[in-house]
Amino acid sequence: MDLDTLIQIGGSTIRLSTPLLLACLAGLFSERSGVIDIGLEGKMLIAAFFSAAFAFSTGSVWIGMLAGIAASMALSGLHGLASITFRGNQLISGVALNFLASGVTVLIAQVWFGQGGRTPSLMQGGRFEPITLPFAEALRGVPVLGPIYADMISGHSFLVYVALLAVPLTWWTLYRTRFGLRLRAVGEAPEAVDTAGVSVTGLRYSSLVITGVLCGLAGAYLATGLQAGFVREMSAGRGYIALAALIFAKWRPWYALFACLLFGFLQALSLRPDVVESVVSTTIPVQVMDALPYILTVVILAGFVGKAIPPRAGGEPYVKER
Amino acid sequence: MTFFAKTLGTVAALALSAGAALADPALIYDLGGKFDKSFNEAAFNGAEKFVADTGGSYRDIEIQSEAQREQALRRFAENGFNPIVTTGFAIASIMGEVAKDYPDTKFVNVDGWLPEVPENVLLINFQEHQGSYLVGMMAAMASESGKVGFIGGMDIPLIRHFGCGYAQGAKAVNPDIEIIANMTGTTPTAWNDPVKGSELANAQISQGADVIYAAAGGTGVGVLQTAADEGILSIGVDSNQNHLHPGKVLTSMLKRVDVAVYEAMKAGEGLETGKFMTLGLAEDGVGYALDDNNAPLVSDDMKMAVDAARQQIIDGGLNVVAYYDNDSCPVLDF
């Protein structure tokens, strides 16, 4: 195994981790405020569709991205309406949104484009182009670090760097702002927040707005960053892996980054069975690699590697008075 | 089958045979849906051609779940549609059961297999390995690096069958060629994961592959996209996908489901049933696509070599080993 192979796997890891990371942080905001969100998958999917559809019709990837975020926020709002305002079951609402997104995207795509639930391929301008970071070419000559910087860190699309920056931003918001303190409190003890005169409903809705934006970015990245168009069910279970990563990360932003990078790395590794074979000198079935994120999550949940304690008020609709 | 349903069926059949003199054919698509740009869409195109050529009409349904298969078959049979054409291997076994209850209706399935074929059932199969062999030859001839890639969808014997024919074709041109084969996954999401398709293509490109054959449904869209972005060649599957990236798709392995559906509908009630029908190169059931989009990529040498091999396979001088023969491929490990 040489440096080029490592760089390829590293680049692949970053690309595959990005949608997981955005979705994972989205879930983090929502669950930290006490709203369990199993509908990350559906939000990503609907954002992927609308970003591709609008990027195609307007020729601008930015308008596409905004449309994706708007669609994802609409689903988020629906989830809020069902589970905060009407105090419905949050799991059921999330599952329903996943089904809704899966059906609605194909239906609208078929009516709009008539291409069997897809959008047409996006041309230049409708896609996020790779960004070359400053000094990437100049530093390429530096041994080891140069190529890693130029080929692995640089050369991804805009949203990859947004996702990476979202991690410190999330940390800062949660742990260094008044809003963050209240958000964490509302997920642990909403009655205390309510007693202090802060609106539980308002806090939960605003965290769902953030969830919507982040899922929208994840979907836009899938359809207009990684791909050039929408294909039905293209989120392919990434929302669920993000949920697993969230548990793995014990609902903390920096841990979320590492969990998503780890899961992305495992996915990238499963694409290179030849590398795995040469390292461990025996054939590991690809299925085992694919299942590893879930196995690791179960290990965490079983308490073998520390304990994952969810926000205490998660899944409970807040009832002010009976 | 219950007595009740049998009686119902008979009554319906009697009522219809009195009423309708000429029955329309019906078409049931597999779960991939009517417009999958590939397998099912080919069936739809065949049915549309039947309408255009004969002025006839047909009914079709896109099922949404496993449970609807039997329901759709019985509805069509009881409403007197004949023949009833279905696509995809998954419906074959239930079709075998239903067919026994409607002896006067003819049933056709594309891609399916049954241990015993009822009198009124026709099973149509394609020799995908022969078509894949030809595109494998073209891949090897177009490759400059001596490495070609194969990306399958869900890891099932049918997809290994594609890959195996491809590998044999590539090896026939260049015995030293390296074939990098990957499957997208083991669940049905593997048919609709273009993101993973892209990453697999990237991984294969970094290993040196410069022609990649995608037999992966919607996942293939990502493979073809990445290949076009990275400036290497790709090969499409089932329908002609050359137009997706003109000048970047070397060719497409055609599986003429449209011809099979067209012929079955045209034969109508006179269709010969109770057997397997295998469509290979000789029947033009499989082949490779050549059109304006890929004409500059296919040299005369390439075309001559491939056409010669095609003739040899038809004459029996060249035997492409099918993966099904002993559930393994002589030149490729999966």
Confirm or reject contact between A4 and chain B (CB < 8 A). yes
Task: List pLDDT tens digits, range A157-174.
Answer: 999 999 999 999 999 999
HSE of A148, CA atoms in CB hemisphere, 13 A = 8
Give me the pLDDT at residue B4, please. Answer: 56
CB-defined contacts A:B, below 8 A: 88
Residue A176's domain comprises 3-126+143-239
> Measured between alpha carbons, how far is residue A114 from residues A61, A214, B11 in Å?
21, 29, 40
Which residue in B45, B199, B200, B224 has the most chain A C-beta atoms within 10 A of its own C-beta, making it the best mutation to test that interface?
A: B199
Residues of chain A found within 8 Å of residue B222, distances taken between Cβ atoms:
226-227, 231
pLDDT surpasses 60 at B97? yes
Window 197-256 of A, Cβ < 8 Å to B: 222, 226-229, 231-234, 236-237
Give me the pLDDT at residue B332, please. Answer: 87
- Containing H/E element for A183? helix A178-188
Residue of A nearest to B188 (CA): A236
- Overall number of domains in chain A: 1
pLDDT surpasses 90 at B39? no
CB crowding B54-92: b at 16 or more within 10 Å, else e: eeeebebbbbeeeebbeebbbbbbbbbbbbbbbbbbbbb
Average pLDDT (A89-96) is: 95
Residue A277 lies in a domain: no
Give me the pLDDT at residue B1, please. Answer: 46
Q: Which residue of A4, A121, A268 is in closest CB contact with B244?
A: A121
Residues β-bridged to residue A50:
none
Say what the ipTM of the complex is. Answer: 0.86
pLDDT surpasses 90 at A282? no
| DSSP three-state, residue B283 | coil
Work out the mean pLDDT of chain A and round it to a whole number. 91
Residue A135 lies in a domain: no
Residue A308 lies in a domain: no
Give me the pLDDT at residue B2, please. Answer: 56
Give me the pLDDT at residue B270, please. Answer: 85
Q: Which residue of B186, B206, B218 is in closest CB contact with A232?
A: B218
Judged by CB atoms closer than 8 Å, whether chains meet at A227 and B225 is answered as yes
Give me the pLDDT at residue A286, please. Answer: 78
Range name among A1-5, B27-31, B248-252 with the lowest pLDDT average: A1-5
Average pLDDT (A212-232) is: 94
Q: Where does residue B213 rank: exposed (0-12), middle (13-18), buried (19+ CB within 10 A)?
A: buried
Residues of chain B found within 8 Å of residue A272, distances taken between Cβ atoms:
203, 207
Give me the pLDDT at residue B8, please. Answer: 52
> Residue A116's pLDDT band (boundaries 50, 70, 90)?
confident
Residues of chain B found within 8 Å of residue A233, distances taken between Cβ atoms:
189, 192, 218
Residues of chain B found within 8 Å of residue A106, distances taken between Cβ atoms:
33
Contact B258, B42 (CB under 8 A): yes
Contact B223, B200 (CB under 8 A): yes
Give me the pLDDT at residue B3, please. Answer: 54
Residue A67 lies in a domain: yes
Model confidence, pTM? 0.86
pLDDT surpasses 80 at A305? no
Give me the pLDDT at residue B18, please. Answer: 41
Which residue in A230, A271, A287, A289 has the most chain B C-beta atoms within 10 A of its own C-beta, making it the best mutation to test that interface?
A: A271
CA distance A93 to chain B (A): 22
CA distance linking residue A118 with residue A108, whole number of Å: 9
Work out the mean pLDDT of chain B and round it to a whole number. 89
Give me the pLDDT at residue B22, please. Answer: 65
Pairing of strands B107-110, B121-126: parallel
Which residue in A18, A128, A226, A276 has the most chain B C-beta atoms within 10 A of its own C-beta, making it the best mutation to test that interface?
A: A226
Contact B214, B151 (CB under 8 A): yes
Confirm or reject contact between A1 and chain B (CB < 8 A). no
Give me the pLDDT at residue A240, please. Answer: 93
pLDDT surpasses 60 at B13? no
CA distance linking residue A220 with residue A228, whole number of Å: 10
pLDDT surpasses 50 at A148? yes
Delineate the domains of chain B, giving CATH numbers in brackets.
Answer: 3-126+258-279 (3.40.50.2300), 128-254+299-326 (3.40.50.2300)
Judged by CB atoms closer than 8 Å, whether chains meet at A12 and B194 is answered as no
Residue A161 lies in a domain: yes
Range name among A132-141, B39-48, B213-222, B307-316 with the lowest pLDDT average: A132-141
CB atoms within 10 A of CB A100: 16
Give me the pLDDT at residue B21, please. Answer: 44
Residues 6+ apart with CB under 8 A from A72: A43, A44, A46, A47, A212, A213, A215, A216, A219
Residue A318 lies in a domain: no
CA distance B245 to chain A (A): 9
Confirm or reject contact between A290 and chain B (CB < 8 A). yes
pLDDT surpasses 70 at B95? yes
Residues of chain B found within 8 Å of residue A231, distances taken between Cβ atoms:
192, 194, 218, 221-222
Give me the pLDDT at residue B15, please. Answer: 46
pLDDT surpasses 50 at A267? yes
Average pLDDT (A180-190) is: 95
Residues of chain A found within 8 Å of residue B193, distances taken between Cβ atoms:
234, 236
Judged by CB atoms closer than 8 Å, whether chains meet at A234 and B194 is answered as yes
- Containing H/E element for B285? none
Give me the pLDDT at residue B255, please. Answer: 92
Judged by CB atoms closer than 8 Å, whether chains meet at A234 and B41 is answered as no
| Sheet with strand B249-255: strands edge to edge | B178-185, B147-154, B211-215, B233-238, B249-255, B286-288
Average pLDDT (A52-58) is: 95
Residue A184 lies in a domain: yes
Judged by CB atoms closer than 8 Å, whether chains meet at B221 and A227 is answered as yes
> Residue A118's pLDDT band (boundaries 50, 70, 90)?
confident
Task: List pLDDT tens digits, range B180-205.
Answer: 999 998 887 888 889 999 999 999 99
Task: List pLDDT tens digits, range B25-36.
Answer: 999 998 777 877
Residue A36 lies in a domain: yes
